[in-house]
Amino acid sequence: MSRPDLHQRVAERRKQRIARDRNRVRRLVTHRDGIRYEVDGQWMTGFCSNDYLGLSQQFSVIEALQDTAAREGVGGIASHLVCGHHAAHEALERELADWLGAPRALLFGSGFLANLAVVQSLLGEGDVCVQDRLNHASLIDAALLAGCHLRRYPHGDAEGAMRQLRGTPDGAALLATDGVFSMDGDIAPLRQLALAARVQQAVLYVDDAHGVGVVGPNGRGSVAQAKLAVAAQPLQLVTLGKALGGYGAAVVGDADLVDHLAETARPYIYTTALPPAQAAASLAAVRLARRDDWRRDKLQTLVARFREGALREGFELLPSDTPIQPLMCGGDARALAMARALEAQGMWVSAIRPPTVPEGQARLRITFSALHAEPDVDALVGALVWSRDAIAHGFGEHASDEHAPDQHASDEHASDEHASQEHASQEHGFGEVA
């Protein structure tokens, strides 16, 4: 027998990842206070979360979770179709459907599961799923698991999508795209994609994990921003774990399609329901997200200020107006060095490397939250400049690299307790955003 030894294979692959600067290491957050994180004993200002609206620690959201947990317990206890479907789930589904102007919403354990559910329950052998090349990994895996053909078109290219659909005229078709792209921050050309879907009799599915709450009128996402009704865009993914600050997801849209998911999607049927307390927290978060335009206005101000400052300093940004602002670094080693140098100044920014992004496009994925203040943005731009200069002078090669300038941002967030400027270990890798 010549069966490969799995332990050996794992060890070799790990060695290869390390040799290519591709190893991934989790960082331990011991406390978080808004945008401030205590990581490995050092307080840092974070520019890496998806808590865009700053709702994850909002008082009424926490209160809703605590109250419901006190009354109903902490567990989901069973799947929705057994005895796990609770009034808190029902209320959240209704609120989401009402907010997004769709007949139905169906909750899922996560966005990843929801994407698996949609593709798997609608498509099978002989069908085709046409996708943007930069779609999230869960959509790609969904098509692979569904056993359908997977065709990918160049990023943001609606004509490419049309060509792919035209080239596979037999079998049912789903045209799937991120609404806001998770690593690039730009928005899909949804009106053109809706047209391609209509002409080619495909169903358009928009994964709006990073759009809902952030873009569109009342935060209704990229679909509402593109003024598409349910007939043109029958299914939309909403995640509860990003702008809404909680955990879980929902698919919102056409009643027949959503009802079909509830009865047939394996990632819906064979898994425990979200805890009702989590659903209650998300309901409180949705109500705030619908109402609080100031959070989106604040994000716009922060993003504009950052782009103006970073471009003035000669950094390469991608064309994004959303809170996801990638700063291009090229090589993996440079992206990691920039992240380390930023960390030395108390700024936590994720370095994103292939395979999460294409080869040669490693970047800092900088994200903003409505909880940041303008001085935080200015401090980040200053820290980026310092990092670039420090790397040009060999940052990371000497012990004295520990002494970065004090770049703590707004006084609002800095305190004596938080002011530690200890340099992080050079051995750290950087976690990559989901």
Ligand X SMILES: Cc1ncc(COP(=O)(O)O)c(C=O)c1O
Residues at the contact surface with ligand X, assessed by CB under 6 A: 110-112, 115, 136, 138, 178, 182, 207, 209-210, 239, 241, 249, 434
Q: Give whichever of 131 and 239 is closer to ligand X, judged by the CB atom.
A: 239
CB-based contact 276:88 (threshold 8 Å): yes
Q: Give whichever of 99 and 181 is closer to ligand X, judged by the CB atom.
A: 181
Q: Cβ neighbours of residue 301 under 8 Å, at least 6 residues apart?
A: 374
Query: Minimum CB separation from ligand X for residue 305, in Å?
Result: 25
Q: Give whichever of 226 and 337 is closer to ligand X, judged by the CB atom.
A: 226
CA distance 331 to 336: 9
Query: Minimum CB separation from ligand X for residue 385, in Å?
Result: 29
Query: Minimum CB separation from ligand X for residue 18, in Å?
Result: 25
CB-based contact 212:185 (threshold 8 Å): no
What is the length of the chain? 434
Helix (H) or strand (E) holding 176: strand 173-178
Residue labelled with tokens 């370095």: 351
CA distance 118 to 122: 6
Q: Give whichever of 111 and 323 is closer to ligand X, judged by the CB atom.
A: 111
Query: Minimum CB separation from ligand X for residue 237, in Å?
Result: 6
Q: Cβ neighbours of residue 35 under 8 Å, at least 6 residues apart?
A: 45, 46, 47, 49, 54, 369, 371, 372, 376, 413
The first and second tokens of residue 148, run together, are: 């359908």
CB-based contact 97:104 (threshold 8 Å): yes
Query: Minimum CB separation from ligand X for residue 184, in Å?
Result: 11
Query: Minimum CB separation from ligand X for residue 405, in Å?
Result: 34
Q: Give whichever of 68 and 135 is closer to ligand X, judged by the CB atom.
A: 135
Helix (H) or strand (E) holding 352: strand 350-352
- DSSP-derived pairing of the beta strands 42-46 and 104-108: unpaired
Rg (CA), the chain: 22
Q: Give whichever of 52 and 112 is closer to ligand X, judged by the CB atom.
A: 112
Q: Give whichever of 99 and 247 is closer to ligand X, judged by the CB atom.
A: 247
Q: Give whichever of 345 and 356 is closer to ligand X, judged by the CB atom.
A: 356
CA distance 134 to 154: 8
Query: Minimum CB separation from ligand X for residue 241, in Å?
Result: 5
Query: Minimum CB separation from ligand X for residue 76, in Å?
Result: 15
The first and second tokens of residue 96, run together, are: 């989401």
Of all residues in the shown chain, the one whose CB is closest to ligand X is 111
